[in-house]
């Protein structure tokens, strides 16, 4: 019997992390894998889907410029309800903690469709940090039938919350599957960089940093660039207007800071490989960089990804201007401090997460026969 699995993706990181799962499902002869793009992101989602050769079967085209979280959620719920009622999937899968994922879990719950949560169990324990992702993943986790936890720590979080052990599988993070699939391919980086300068790669987009914290981050980057003429800062700017407008205004005129549009996934991996140091508030980058041996200073007060921090290869620096400058300067000046953080370790997976996730579904479908 053929079973229908609907994979839902909304934003860039979801597409990157779902791509290996979609590929693995497409290779199963008894599974009809359907892909639904909510397109909570438009340009950034399309880039990734195209890179992995994935054409969505359905597209909700939800993105509107700078829409509120309430509007986004309301529109997602209504549209997802319609699609789920007409598609009638046996299982729905979604990854992470965006508003797309929380809405997908809730829409499935109302229709009693079993929902599998990929990258389950990440927690900071603070509902406002990151905002709104901590709440999104707690809600998705409450409603999920299957919890695909990337690490022992995320599995323990779920067990502490009372999730039945039989419903949790430790899989590793599919971000490493995607990274290994991509690192094996040619990676063009079409940006002219000065080979004599050390590259500092930056990304930033977290909502809890909007406003003053993000201005502090920009001031720290400007100051680092001015104090260190031997570095070049490459900052692919997230298109969220709360980020983009401020970044271009504060950093657009510093000679050794290159601002650019978001890079396609493969060139971004190339930029990470080429970098000396990464400064970022991205979840995905915190997972990828350690596997590439690149130190990351995380522009956040806390993280739901403590594994790399515990290993000493990722450090939290928050959004305080002086702390960012001090910690980055230390890594630029002190080779020993740098070397202790630049170790190639991969606490987030071994590249086989997608196979494990599909294995759980295969077993479930066999038991239903």
Binding-site ranges for ligand UDP (CB under 6 A) = 12-13, 16, 203, 205, 236, 262-263, 265, 268, 282-285, 288
When the beta carbons of 20 and 228 are compared against ligand UD1, the nearer one is 20
**Residue 265 contact partner, candidates ligand UD1, ligand UDP, none, CB within 5 to 8 A by sort of partner:** ligand UDP
238 an active-site residue? yes
Exactly one of 17, 23, 34, 41 binds ligand UD1 (CB under 6 A); that residue is: 41
Span near ligand UD1 by CB under 6 A; candidates 238-246, 270-278, 301-309, 343-351? 238-246
When the beta carbons of 79 and 90 are compared against ligand UD1, the nearer one is 79
Exactly one of 3, 5, 8, 11 binds ligand UD1 (CB under 6 A); that residue is: 11
50 an active-site residue? no
Residue with tokens 């359905």: 58
190 an active-site residue? no
When the beta carbons of 224 and 285 are compared against ligand UD1, the nearer one is 285
**Residue 235 contact partner, candidates ligand UD1, ligand UDP, none, CB within 5 to 8 A by sort of partner:** none
**C-alpha–C-alpha distance, residues 214 and 92, integer Å:** 36
CB of 53 to ligand UD1, least distance (A): 19
**C-alpha–C-alpha distance, residues 96 and 245, integer Å:** 27
DSSP string spanning 10-34?
-SHHHHHHHHHHHHHHHT-TTEEEE
Which residues of 182-276 form beta strands (DSSP E)? 198-203, 231-236, 257-260
CB of 50 to ligand UD1, least distance (A): 13
**Residue 284 contact partner, candidates ligand UD1, ligand UDP, none, CB within 5 to 8 A by sort of partner:** ligand UDP
Binding footprint of ligand UD1, residue count (CB under 6 A): 23
Span near ligand UD1 by CB under 6 A; candidates 5-13, 267-275, 296-304, 340-348? 5-13
When the beta carbons of 236 and 351 are compared against ligand UDP, the nearer one is 236
Contact at 8 Å (CB) between 250 and 218?
yes
362 an active-site residue? no
Answer yes or no whether residue 307 interacts with ligand UD1 by CB under 6 A.
no
Rg value, the chain, Cα:
20
Contact at 8 Å (CB) between 83 and 60?
yes
When the beta carbons of 167 and 242 are compared against ligand UD1, the nearer one is 242
Find the catalytic residue in 14, 79, 90, 133: 133
| Listed residue (257, 302, 311) closest to 133, CA to CA | 302
Which residues of the chain form beta strands (DSSP E)? 3-9, 31-37, 58-59, 91-95, 115-118, 146-149, 168-170, 198-203, 231-236, 257-260, 277-280, 296-298, 314-316
When the beta carbons of 17 and 75 are compared against ligand UDP, the nearer one is 17
Contact at 8 Å (CB) between 359 and 313?
no
**CB contact set of 146 (below 8 Å; sequence gap of 6+):** 114, 115, 116, 117, 167, 169, 360, 361, 364
| Listed residue (4, 32, 12, 10) closest to 263, CA to CA | 12
Question: Is the preceding peptide bond at 130 cis, omega within 30 degrees of 0?
Answer: yes
Answer yes or no whether residue 43 interacts with ligand UD1 by CB under 6 A.
yes
Exactly one of 29, 53, 55, 66 binds ligand UD1 (CB under 6 A); that residue is: 66
Answer yes or no whether residue 280 interacts with ligand UD1 by CB under 6 A.
no
Contact at 8 Å (CB) between 201 and 259?
no
Residues that bind ligand UD1 (CB under 6 A): 11-13, 40-44, 63-67, 69, 72, 98-99, 132-133, 205, 239-241
By annotation, the residues acting in catalysis are: 97, 119, 133, 205, 207, 238
């Amino acid at each position: 019997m053929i079973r229908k699995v609907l994979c839902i993706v909304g934003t860039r990181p979801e597409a990157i992390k779902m791509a290996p799962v979609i590929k693995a499902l497409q290779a199963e002869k008894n599974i009809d894998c359907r892909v639904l793009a909510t397109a909570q992101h438009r340009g950034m989602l399309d880039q990734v889907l195209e890179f992995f050769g994935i054409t969505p079967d359905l597209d909700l085209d939800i993105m509107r410029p700078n829409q509120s979280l309430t509007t986004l959620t309301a529109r997602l719920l209504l549209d997802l309800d319609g699609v789920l009622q007409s598609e009638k999937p046996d299982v729905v899968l979604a990854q992470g903690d965006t508003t797309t994922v929380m809405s997908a879990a809730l829409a499935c719950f109302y229709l009693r469709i079993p929902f599998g949560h990929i990258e389950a169990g990440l927690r900071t324990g603070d509902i406002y940090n990151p905002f709104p992702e901590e709440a999104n993943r707690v809600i998705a986790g409450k409603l999920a039938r299957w919890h695909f936890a990337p690490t022992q720590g995320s599995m323990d979080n779920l067990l502490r919350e009372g999730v039945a052990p039989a419903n949790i599988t430790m899989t590793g993070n599919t971000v490493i599957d995607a990274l290994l699939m991509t690192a094996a391919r040619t990676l063009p980086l079409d940006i002219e960089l000065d080979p004599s300068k050390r590259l500092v790669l930056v990304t930033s987009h977290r909502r809890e940093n909007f406003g003053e914290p993000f201005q502090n981050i920009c001031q720290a980057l400007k100051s680092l660039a001015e104090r260190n003429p031997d570095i070049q800062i490459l900052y692919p700017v997230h298109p969220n207007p709360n980020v983009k407008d401020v970044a271009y205004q504060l950093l657009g005129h510093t000679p050794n800071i290159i601002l650019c549009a978001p890079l396609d996934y493969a060139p971004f991996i190339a930029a990470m490989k080429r970098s000396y140091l990464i400064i970022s508030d991205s979840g995905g980058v915190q997972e990828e960089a350690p596997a590439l041996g690149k130190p990351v200073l995380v522009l956040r007060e806390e993280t739901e990804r403590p594994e790399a921090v515990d290993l000493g290869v990722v450090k939290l620096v928050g959004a305080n201007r002086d702390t960012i400058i001090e910690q980055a300067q230390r890594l630029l000046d002190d080779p020993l401090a740098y070397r202790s953080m630049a170790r190639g370790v991969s606490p987030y997976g071994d590249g086989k997460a997608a196979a494990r996730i599909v294995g759980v579904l295969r077993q479930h479908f066999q038991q239903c026969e």
